[in-house]
Each structure stands twice: as structure tokens, then as C-alpha cells.
């Protein structure tokens, strides 16, 4: 293998596409494995946000979701899927929890096909993101770096896990990768290419607000202080693409500006809600190093960053500057869900791919460089792949809520009064007298006696938040659950049972 001056390798398009195809098939298999988990119920806490808004759009024939904590691109796509499937599914489109006898985060079992269709679309989008990253790596450095980055992204546990949910996270990552690819392939004088790069960034923001940071990539690449006039034109085209794309997929951000701004503020409050120990920046870095990339791939990414800093091309600066800006912002949030790491993963994989190829082609003889690079990349992908497969196996097992639901159906007679809190089995109001409360600690014991309740169902996802950060309910809630757990337990279901 002949080495270039910058450490990259000559491209072999047929071999590269074959490898990308293999990586894509691996990515697809990982994402389809367990895609129907929880059926016919939705157990992920965020899936109802997209599903309910999409059902509202279809039912009311109103493109205004009247709710803007999420942008509307995925909501509109899900609404389109519902329109396509409705003639075959015949499911009610209602989302009224009280009318349906379910919790506000639940969905009717009849609506499950809509959820599955959305999950499949998200899973396929995740595979597209892998392919786009391979192409971005090829444009930035080399085919080998692109394939290496794609393989790492394909197996990263959080990216695989999130592809099983009807949420905005994976589609946002895909559009981040699309923006990077479009920006790297844009030529200085081809203004249409800059519009496309900006449009991809606008679509990313139209999927998940925080993903809009990726607009920094085309903005930095388009900037050239030596050619201010040409740079200004490119920047204007990027800006036009961003604004046009965002308004097309989120038109009511302008048409219903007051509610849109209110939704943004509510989302801001969500990010700043609660408090967790330790600094967020340290937690995110530790998570990336130990659990997501694992030390090997993380070290390779740092090597890639070192080479980028050494060369300091505008493309290098852009791919460093954008994720650093994003990290600087999310690291200030007291709330730190794991999903905040996802937008960083395409950049980390690109730098890891570059680091591996740079070292391999600079240090090793040309005749063995390709083989050694392949072995190293496979080795670095092995631990994340193993973790992703473990998570898929866990997901394929019956959920504890499903086990509890089966127990209730078998052991409790029809008409039994059951109080359930969130993250517990969804019981039919046609079979039982179901009372939903987000947390059992929100009512005193006297209230339960007055309701004539026979059973209450508690979830560790709720009461663990009482004893651990964010300590919801304070001492009163902690005392409630302490006393509750002195009452004899009729049945208990733990993960793995």
C-alpha cells in the first residue's frame, strides 16, 4: 500500500464499498435485533412524545402540533407513516389518557404497529448514518479512515441502543453525519453545495434542537479570511440553507411563534432541572472513555485530534470546533442524560479512524499496513460490539413490566382496583379499575384506603429517584416508600427473571 504525504492511503473504491456494505449489514442486524421489544406496549419514556403528536396531527388534520419541546420533522414523518398504515391497521387515533384508561405516557396496544413502523424507520436511518460517516471520512482523509469510522459508529452501544426507539436522537445523529459529509464535499465555488450543507444542518436542528450546533461545520469550512467576499457569499448560502430547511420542517416555529418560544423554554428548563453530583463535563468524558468508545477507540480519537491540530486545515478545525462548542454547552447542564453524548459520536469516530490510519501508514511498511489497520480497527470495535450485543440480548428478554402484566392477568380477577405508578404494566380499564399516578408517593395512605384499592404496583424507576438523585419528593416521599415496603409483597419482578 502506497502512503500519501498526509498519512492517508490511496483509495480502492470497489474494496471500500464492499467493506462499507459489510459494515452496513452489521449495523442493520444490530438495530433490527430486538426492534419489537415491549410489544404491544411502549415502555420507553420518550416514544409517546413523537407518537402522540403525530396521532394528533393525523386525527385533527392540523400540522400545528401545539407542542414544541421537540422540533417537528420526526413528528411529521411519523404522521406520514400513520397515514400510510391506518387503512390496514384500523387503530383508534385518540391520545386521551383518561378516555383510554391509560397513563399519559402510554399508548393503546392497537397503536403498536405505528410505533413499530417508526422504530424501523429510525433503525434504517441509523444504518444510513453509518454509510454517510464512511463517506465523510473518505472525503476528509481516506477510504480506510472512513470505513474505520463507520465500523466504530456501527457498533457503539449507545448508538445501537437508541436505534431501537422512536425518538429524535438517532435521526439527529444521521443528519449531523449528513451535514459533515455535505460540508466536506462542498467545493469553494459551487454555491449549491453550500446550500445543501446548510440545509442538512437545518434538518438536524429540525429533528433535535441541540443538533443545530453542526451548522458550525459548514460555517467554518466556508470561511476564508484571505477571500472575504467569496467567504461571505458561501456563508450566506449556508445560512439560507439552514433557515429554509428548518422552516420547511418546522413551519410553526414561525407561524406559532409564542408557543414555539414557550416550548424552547420548557426544554431549556428540562435540561437544567434536577441536580447530579460531580461535574457534568467529567461525567461525559468518563462515560465516553470507559463505556461508549472504550479506552482503545478513545485513545485513537485523541491521536486523530493530535494529527488534526498538527495540520490545522479548515476542515480539521471545523470538525474539532463544532463538537467542542456543543460539549461546552451541554457540560453546563445539571441534567445529563446519556443521549447528550450521541451528537459527539460521529466526530469521535472520524478522529479515531484518522488516528488509526495515520499511525498505521506512517509507522508500518506499506505491504502490511492495510492488514494491520484492519486488525486494529476490528480489535477496537470488539468491546463496543460485545456491549451492544449484550444490551440487545437484555432487550430481547421479557421486560419486567410484561412479566408483571402477565401475572396480573393470571392472578387478579376482573374488576380489581389497581393503582399503578409510571414505568409499571399498562392494564386495560376494560378489565380492571385502574388508577394511574406518576408516583405512589403523591398520595397519602388514607387516599388509597378511600379508593378501596386492592393492589398497588411500584417501579424501581420511580422510587429509586426518591432515594437517589434527583431525590424527587424529598423526605416525605422517602418515608412513604419506606413504609410501603413494610407491607407484604404479593409479587416482585427483577431484570433477568
pLDDT at position 366 is 84
Average pLDDT over residues 447-465: 88
Phi and psi at residue 127, to the nearest 5°: -65, -40
Sign of the CA dihedral with 26 first, then 27, 30, and 35 last: negative
Whether the pTM exceeds 0.75: the reply is yes
Domains in the chain: boundaries: 13-35+119-396, 400-484
Q: 210-236: buried (b, 16+ CB within 10 Å) or exposed (e) per residue?
A: bbbbbbbbbbbbbbeeeeeeebebbbe
Give the tens place of pLDDT for each residue, 39-93: 999 999 899 999 999 999 999 999 999 999 999 999 999 999 999 999 999 899 9
Transcribe 72-127 into DSSP letters: SHHHHHHHHHHHHHHHHH-------HHHHTS-TT---GGGHHHHHHHHHHHHHHHH
What does the angle CA 286 – CA 361 – CA 293 come to, to the nearest 5 degrees?
Answer: 15
User: In percent, how much of the chain has pLDDT > 90?
Assistant: 73
CB 475 within 8 A of CB 440: no
Q: Where is 437: in which H helix or E strand? A: none
Cell of 308: 488534526
Residue 320: pLDDT band (50, 70, 90) is very high
pLDDT at position 497 is 58
Sign of the CA dihedral with 355 first, then 358, 364, and 365 last: positive
CB 346 within 8 A of CB 133: yes
Transcribe 143-197 into DSSP letters: HHHHHHHHHHHHH-HHHHHHTTSSSSHHHHHHHHHHHHHHHHH--TT-HHHHHHH
pLDDT at position 115 is 98
Residue 12: pLDDT band (50, 70, 90) is low
Give the tens place of pLDDT for each residue, 220-268: 999 988 888 999 999 999 999 999 999 999 999 999 999 999 999 999 9
CB 429 within 8 A of CB 416: no
pLDDT tops 90 at residue 330 = yes
Name the residue among 437, 485, 435, 445 with its Cα closest to residue 464.
Answer: 485
Task: List helix spans (H) across 397-444.
Answer: 400-411
CA distance 423 to 406: 15
CA distance 370 to 270: 47
Give the tens place of pLDDT for each residue, 367-412: 899 999 999 999 999 999 999 999 999 998 999 999 999 999 999 9
Listed in sequence order, the residues at least 6 apart from 255 whose beta carbon sits closer than 8 Å to its beta carbon are: 64
CA distance 79 to 186: 33
Give the tens place of pLDDT for each residue, 103-132: 888 999 999 999 999 999 999 999 999 999
Q: Is 76 left (phi over 0), alpha (psi -120 to 50) or beta?
A: alpha
Amino acid at each position: 500500500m502506497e502512503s500519501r504525504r498526509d498519512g492517508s492511503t490511496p483509495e480502492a473504491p470497489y474494496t471500500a464499498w464492499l467493506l462499507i456494505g459489510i459494515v452496513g449489514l452489521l449495523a442493520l442486524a444490530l438495530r433490527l435485533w430486538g426492534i419489537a421489544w415491549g410489544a404491544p406496549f411502549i415502555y420507553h419514556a420518550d416514544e409517546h412524545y413523537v407518537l402522540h403528536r403525530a396521532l394528533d396531527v393525523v386525527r385533527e388534520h392540523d400540522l400545528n402540533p401545539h407542542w414544541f419541546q421537540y422540533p417537528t420533522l420526526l413528528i411529521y414523518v411519523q404522521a406520514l407513516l400513520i397515514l400510510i398504515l391506518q387503512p390496514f391497521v384500523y387503530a383508534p387515533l385518540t391520545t386521551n389518557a383518561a378516555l383510554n384508561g391509560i397513563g399519559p405516557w402510554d399508548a393503546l396496544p392497537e397503536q403498536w404497529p405505528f410505533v413499530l413502523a417508526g422504530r424501523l424507520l429510525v433503525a434504517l436511518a441509523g444504518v444510513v448514518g453509518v454509510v454517510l460517516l464512511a463517506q465523510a471520512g473518505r472525503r476528509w482523509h481516506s477510504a480506510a479512515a472512513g470505513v474505520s469510522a463507520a465500523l466504530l459508529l456501527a457498533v457503539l452501544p449507545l448508538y445501537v441502543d437508541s436505534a431501537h426507539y422512536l425518538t429524535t436522537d438517532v435521526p439527529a445523529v444521521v443528519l449531523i453525519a449528513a451535514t459533515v459529509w455535505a460540508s466536506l464535499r462542498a467545493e469553494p465555488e459551487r454555491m449549491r453545495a453550500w446550500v445543501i450543507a446548510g440545509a442538512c444542518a437545518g434538518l438536524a436542528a429540525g429533528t433535535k434542537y441541540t443538533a443545530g450546533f453542526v451548522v458550525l461545520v459548514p460555517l467554518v469550512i466556508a470561511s476564508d479570511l484571505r477571500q472575504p467576499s467569496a467567504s461571505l457569499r458561501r456563508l450566506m448560502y449556508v445560512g439560507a440553507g439552514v433557515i429554509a430547511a428548518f422552516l420547511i420542517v418546522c413551519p410553526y416555529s414561525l407561524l406559532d411563534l409564542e408557543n414555539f418560544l414557550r416550548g424552547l423554554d420548557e426544554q431549556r428548563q428540562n435540561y437544567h432541572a434536577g441536580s447530579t453530583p460531580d461535574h457534568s463535563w467529567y461525567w461525559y468524558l468518563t462515560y465516553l472513555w470507559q463505556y461508549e468508545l472504550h479506552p482503545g477507540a478513545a485513545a485513537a480519537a485523541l491521536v486523530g485530534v493530535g494529527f488534526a491540530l498538527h495540520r490545522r486545515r479548515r476542515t480539521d478545525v471545523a470538525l474539532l470546533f463544532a463538537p467542542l462548542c456543543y460539549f461546552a454547552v451541554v457540560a453546563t447542564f445539571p441534567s445529563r442524560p446519556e443521549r447528550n453524548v450521541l451528537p459527539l459520536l460521529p466526530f469521535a469516530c472520524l478522529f479515531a479512524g484518522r488516528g488509526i490510519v495515520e499511525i498505521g501508514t506512517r509507522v508500518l511498511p506499506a505491504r502490511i499496513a492495510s492488514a494491520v489497520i484492519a486488525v486494529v480497527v476490528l480489535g477496537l470495535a470488539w468491546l463496543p460490539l460485545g456491549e451492544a450485543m449484550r444490551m440487545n440480548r437484555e432487550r430481547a428478554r421479557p421486560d419486567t413490566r410484561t412479566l408483571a402484566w402477565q401475572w396480573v392477568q393470571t392472578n387478579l380477577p376482573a374488576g380489581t382496583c389497581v393503582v399503578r405508578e409510571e414505568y409499571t404494566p399498562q392494564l386495560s380499564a376494560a378489565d380492571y379499575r385502574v388508577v394511574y399516578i406518576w408516583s405512589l408517593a403523591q398520595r397519602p395512605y388514607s387516599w388509597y384506603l378511600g379508593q378501596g384499592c386492592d393492589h398497588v404496583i411500584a417501579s424501581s424507576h420511580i422510587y429509586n429517584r426518591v432515594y437517589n438523585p434527583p431525590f424527587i419528593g424529598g423526605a416525605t416521599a422517602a418515608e412513604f416508600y419506606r413504609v410501603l415496603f413494610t407491607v407484604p409483597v404479593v409479587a416482585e419482578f427483577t431484570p433477568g427473571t
